[in-house]
Amino acid sequence: MIRTMRPVIVAANWKMNTTPADAGELARTIASRTRVAGVERVICPPFVCLAAVRDALMDAREEVAVGAQDVHHEVAGAFTGDISAAMLDGLASWVIVGHSERRRDHAETDERVAGKLARAIEAGLRPILCIGEQLAVREAGSDAAAAVVVDQLWGAVMPNDADALIAAGLVIAYEPVWAIGTGKNARGADAAAMASAIRNGLRAIDWGDRAENVPVLYGGSVTAANIAEFLAEPSIDGALVGGASLKPDEMAGIVARAGVTGDARRSESPIA
């Protein structure tokens, strides 16, 4: 059986930054600076900027996807201030679910994240599922960290249909919470070990060989200076970029290095 070559993906998470007045121009600038063959690019602006970013990228004829930063776990209802999957129709084709900041600031449980994942795939949105451990867990050792991450993975994935997740193009972002905005950095070997644990976790719930085809991104204070270490690992398929994704120079460097990974993968023979 021939394994499908996993795509190389760079997703920009702008978090609570930009406004509709400036988001479109920033998106155009980043898109024009990151035209690299073999890299899938996604920009995830705040909800209020989705239309501006979509329109700017369409007007510039840039092949960059637009993603939302979150989605509600219910189809509709009395949820003031929240956004349903149906509301994203025509605005976004990707969505982030389970980001550590949502888990921390909004007390999102694995059960809640599983519901968001379900709504995303029902609506035809390609999900980026975020999972990662806190510093205290990491300090307890790599086995403890892997156990927590796999528990988060199972909590989100197992309530959903595996075939539907695969058809939706599930992407998993490993984001060590202790490395986000703290100045602490994970190493490439740490991310690679966790990517292996994630795919083994999927195999353990009967995904079999399909687990090998799930892209795993690294997210945790990604910059142009450190991305090479992560993309040098064959098990890492790109990055979920936070603060650096607001800086065109940083994004240009990150995507350029991702292109090197894509070139290397295309030059390799398929794995039997």
Position of tokens 């960290």? Answer: 145
Pair 117, 156: CB distance under 8 Å: yes
DSSP reduced 3-state for 126:
strand
Alpha carbons 189 and 37: distance in angstroms, whole number: 26
Alpha carbons 196 and 212: distance in angstroms, whole number: 9
- Among 193, 260, 237, 266, which residue's Cα sits nearest to residue 10? 237
What phi and psi values does residue 71 have, to the nearest 5 degrees?
-155, 150
Token duo for residue 248: 């065109």
Which residues, in sequence order, are CB contacts of 123 under 8 Å at separation 6+?
A: 71, 85, 86, 88, 89
Cα atoms in the 13 Å half-sphere on the side-chain side of 101: 13
Residues annotated catalytic, as ranges: 99, 175
- Among 130, 159, 152, 178, which residue's Cα sits nearest to residue 15? 130
Which residues, in sequence order, are CB contacts of 239 under 8 Å at separation 6+?
A: 9, 10, 11, 217, 218, 219, 222, 227, 230, 231, 254, 258
Alpha carbons 39 and 30: distance in angstroms, whole number: 14
- Among 156, 138, 143, which residue's Cα sits nearest to residue 214? 156
Residue type, 63: E
